[in-house]
Amino acid sequence: MEVRWIRVEPFRLEPPHTAFSLVFSLLLGVWSAQALEMSVGKVPFLEAVNGSTVMLPCTYSSCIGIKNLYFSWQFNDNGTMQKVCDSVIPTEDVEPDVKIHKERVEFVGKNIKNNISILLWNITFEDGGQYTCFGRNPKEMNKNHSAIFNLIVVDELRVVDNTLTIIIASAVGGAIALLMGFMLLKNFTLFVLAKLEEKNKECLVSSSGIDNTENGLSGSKADSKPTPKKK
């Protein structure tokens, strides 16, 4: 009789600091998901013509809400941060009283939509550069966040060469049209073949009836001879 030995690992209790670290990590993850976030959109840059008016977009979001949220726009002037505008938003249903610190700037954000965007009127080449949208939320223990938007000022907008795009679109369109034409031709061919086969079956049935008549089978003309009269 073969005896097998099974090794049993002793049960270990995790030290208190390990459990605390796990709980702390979970709480930190939840806290990060609720943290303040500033966003300048999916495309954080804009190329605009000298003398035009542009909007610099920025919105904020917070899962637990805001209270006395401080925000500001700053311009990076060759390494020196210049304040463009700033304000404090008491609550989410109050429109802020924004202080403007630079000429040709207008606040156009509506707090109802968490929007703190600004307009720059009659931009010049000196207005080109990095603009930082900053926010700090005391309700989240002064959690802060910022997003950078780049403004590029040019004499005239560049003409985009769409030749390659047109060629690709034409090739794809031609391939699709060719495939559709092939499918139509295939369906038409199958339809004609089906009709020809149906017609051949009808001809075979008709030919069979004619042969039976000529051979004097039952129901044919050969059976219908008149009975001779008795004298």
Q: Domain limits of the chain? A: 36-154, 160-197
Q: pLDDT confidence of 171, banded at 50, 70, 90? A: confident
**Phi/psi of residue 203, nearest 5 degrees:** -65, -40
Q: What is the pLDDT of residues 188-225, one digit of tens each?
A: 888 888 878 777 777 666 666 555 555 555 544 445 55
pLDDT at 20 over 70: no
CATH 2.60.40.10 given to domain 36-154: yes
Cα–Cα dist 88/119, whole Å: 19
Q: Using CA atoms of 184, 187, 193, 196 in order, give the dihedral in degrees to the nearest 10.
A: -80
SS3 156: coil
Buried b / exposed e over 136-148, threshold 16 CB at 10 Å, is bbeebeebebbbe
pTM higher than 0.85 = no
Report the chain's mean pLDDT, rounded to a whole number.
80
Q: What is the pLDDT of residues 141-151, one digit of tens each?
A: 999 999 999 99
- 146: CB partners within 8 A, 6+ apart: 38, 132, 133, 134, 135
